């Protein structure tokens, strides 16, 4: 049975290719930026590890500033492979961090996210795909990619579920800070 419980001590947030030049072509770009930014803030507040990947930055630029700002100290990894885990530098960093649960947001759902999630699952990671923080150029490709990710064994989730699962309990100062991100 799949593990549907996020363990805040064992999570790594992966922000896949959320680049301005790519965002322009996404049908749901505002939703991707909004929810990915919330997730970056969640990672910062709880002190979780995070990585950013950028596809061919020479032509497509770097991570959207709004999404990057909450974790500006985290390194961006440039890649040419569509599968982020297929890039030696990214793979080495993920393996070095030693987290077994990977929370994924970014684009495009049916290309780079799909290939990355597939590779992570094959490597034995528990992968949580944040549906409302993913996108493609077309809604049809996003839906198709999400269906395939679920069939492969990824947990399909959303921004608020991730936030509340990692918070775990109401009434704390940390929870009040997290709650403000969505209210």
140-178: burial string, b at 16+ Cβ within 10 Å, e else = ebbeebbeebeeeebbebebebbbbbbbeeeeeeebeeb
Q: Rounded distance, CA 176 to CA 62, Å?
A: 32
Q: Please give the pLDDT value at position 3.
A: 76
Q: Tell me what pLDDT residue 4 has.
A: 87
**Is the bond preceding residue 38 a cis peptide, omega within 30 degrees?**
no
The pLDDT value recorded for residue 122 is 98
Q: pTM surpassing 0.95?
A: yes
CA separation for the pair 48, 19 (Å, rounded): 22
Query: What pLDDT does residue 153 have?
Result: 97
Q: Are 182 and 163 in contact (CB under 8 A)?
A: yes
Query: What is the mean pLDDT of each successive set of 10 residues along the chain, which is 183 residues long?
Result: 86 98 97 99 98 97 97 95 98 98 98 98 98 98 97 98 97 96 94
Contact (CB, 8 A) for 87 and 97? no
Domains of the chain in sequence order: 13-179 (3.40.50.850)
Q: What angle do CA 30, 33, 37 make, to 5 degrees?
A: 145
């Amino acid at each position: 049975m799949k593990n549907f419980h996020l363990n805040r001590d064992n999570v790594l947030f992966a922000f896949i290719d959320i680049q301005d030049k790519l965002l322009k072509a996404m049908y749901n770009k505002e939703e991707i930026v909004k929810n990915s930014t919330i997730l970056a803030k969640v990672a910062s507040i709880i002190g979780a590890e995070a990585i950013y990947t950028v596809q061919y930055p020479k032509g497509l630029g770097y991570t959207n500033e709004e999404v990057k700002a909450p974790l500006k100290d985290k390194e961006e990894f440039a890649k040419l492979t569509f599968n982020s885990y297929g890039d030696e530098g990214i793979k080495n960093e993920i393996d070095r961090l030693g987290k077994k649960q990977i929370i994924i947001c970014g684009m495009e759902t049916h290309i780079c996210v799909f290939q990355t999630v597939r590779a992570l699952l094959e490597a034995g990671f528990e992968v949580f795909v944040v549906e409302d923080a993913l996108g493609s150029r077309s809604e049809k490709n996003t839906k198709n990619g999400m269906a395939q990710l679920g069939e492969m064994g990824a947990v399909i989730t959303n921004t608020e579920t991730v936030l509340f699962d990692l918070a775990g309990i109401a009434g704390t100062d940390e929870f009040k800070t997290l709650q403000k991100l969505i209210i």
